[in-house]
A and B are shown apart, each in its own frame.
Chain A
């Protein structure tokens, strides 16, 4: 079981889209809140793309990553997605959606 709540939804902390470029599986993104530029691997880039399109839960993202990489949606995938979400959160590129 993943330590991160599977039902936690994530969103980008800015209105609209982050400036993101997809370069053959490498992603570069600019964070206007910190002024930093980040190079992301393919999984982190894809996860961020999904969240930019619409807020998504960890569970949704695990399913997306499993489908995208054609791997089982099991605890290993969940652990990896949790690590990616934690890293993106730490960079200030995403934030959890607070419950109403």
Chain B
């Protein structure tokens, strides 16, 4: 979690035994989720999670098996609750309701409760009272340097992120870059990677080791499935990265892989536009994003082939030294 005043908390000592979600017997996990809840640590954030919907417990246990629980709990960054509908609706048309703190998520059919829980996790991060600077971007790390991929939904960002996470890059997040005010570095918040429609099959074919949730059909975004974060990403979820590379990807069917270097001010505008809370971050937000713009190579990437796109990004990573700013 991120402590108040937006300062990154010192991680628990490495020799402290941590209980993982998967360590708990299914019955105990279900009871704790229903009663007092669990305090789920996903790196930069800790979420107090209540689940009162039996059908969701197994999916949660499977997808989050390797995540540690904070026990005894510290300070939570967000509170997420998922419950079934009222009795009559459970009998006739089962639904799931989810909340992120006081924010209600649109109810979904009970069989898609996992999608509502993931949405609530995202809301919890974005609306946390102790929210640090957050940018809508996939983030991965290699050699200590962060690769940001800010892009709107449908751009192929998560597909490329999922592929990179199996080709030498450590997943920090497929959705949100979390910056510390203290040092301007980006902190991990690896959670299951959301893949949509054709991307599900593309990633499954690309990486046989990847493990997925079932496919949730008929969501507002079409078919959705979640890829488990690679175990290394979860095990190293307390290790931050310094800004190194910004690549804004766009998937175009049949297109050749093309990189275009962006002017620094153009890239900076892209970073601001991708930030969820830049306007409220005031001067520290300006300092963080100008540092990213000054220390990173800034590119847009058009691609249709994952291997070729990864090769292009690896080339940038290996050939692009960290730029020094001109502040």
* B206 CB within 8 Å of chain A: no
Using a CB-CB cutoff of 8 Å, which residues 2-57 of chain A contact chain B? 19, 21-24, 26, 28, 30, 32, 35, 37, 39
B66-74, B111-119, B238-246, B265-273 - the one binding chain A? B265-273
Contact: B326 with A30, CB < 8 Å? Answer: no
- How far apart are the CA atoms of A23 and B286 in the complex, in Å? 15
Minimum CB–CB distance from B206 to chain A (whole Å) comes to 37
B325: chain A residues at CB < 8 Å are: 21
Interface centre among B263, B278, B286, B327, by most chain A C-beta atoms within 10 angstroms, is B286
- How far apart are the CA atoms of A92 and B291 in the complex, in Å? 24
Contact: B269 with A39, CB < 8 Å? Answer: yes
Give the interface size class of chain B: 10 to 19
- How far apart are the CA atoms of A32 and B285 in the complex, in Å? 12
Using a CB-CB cutoff of 8 Å, which residues 258-306 of chain B contact chain A? 263-265, 268-269, 272, 278-279, 282-283, 286-287, 290, 293-294
- How far apart are the CA atoms of A23 and B326 in the complex, in Å? 7
A23: chain B residues at CB < 8 Å are: 263-265, 268, 293-294, 326
A37: chain B residues at CB < 8 Å are: 272, 278, 286
Closest to B272 in A: A37
A30: chain B residues at CB < 8 Å are: 283, 286
**Contacting residue for A24 out of B264, B269, B278, CB 8 A:** B264
**Contacting residue for B294 out of A21, A26, A39, CB 8 A:** A21
- How far apart are the CA atoms of A37 and B288 in the complex, in Å? 13
Contact: A32 with B283, CB < 8 Å? Answer: yes
A19: chain B residues at CB < 8 Å are: 283, 286-287, 290
**Contacting residue for B326 out of A22, A32, A35, CB 8 A:** A22
Minimum CB–CB distance from B43 to chain A (whole Å) comes to 29
Given A21-B290, A32-B283, A37-B272, does the pair A26, B265 have CB atoms closer than 8 Å? Answer: yes
Contact: A28 with B282, CB < 8 Å? Answer: no
**Contacting residue for B265 out of A28, A32, A35, CB 8 A:** A28
Closest to A24 in B: B264
The 10 A-B pairs of least Cβ separation, nearest first, read A26-B265, A23-B264, A30-B286, A39-B265, A21-B290, A23-B265, A21-B327, A35-B282, A22-B326, A37-B286
What is A's interface to B at a CB cutoff of 8 Å? 19, 21-24, 26, 28, 30, 32, 35, 37, 39
9 examples of A-B residue contacts, CB within 8 angstroms: A19-B283, A19-B290, A21-B294, A23-B263, A23-B264, A23-B265, A26-B263, A26-B264, A35-B282
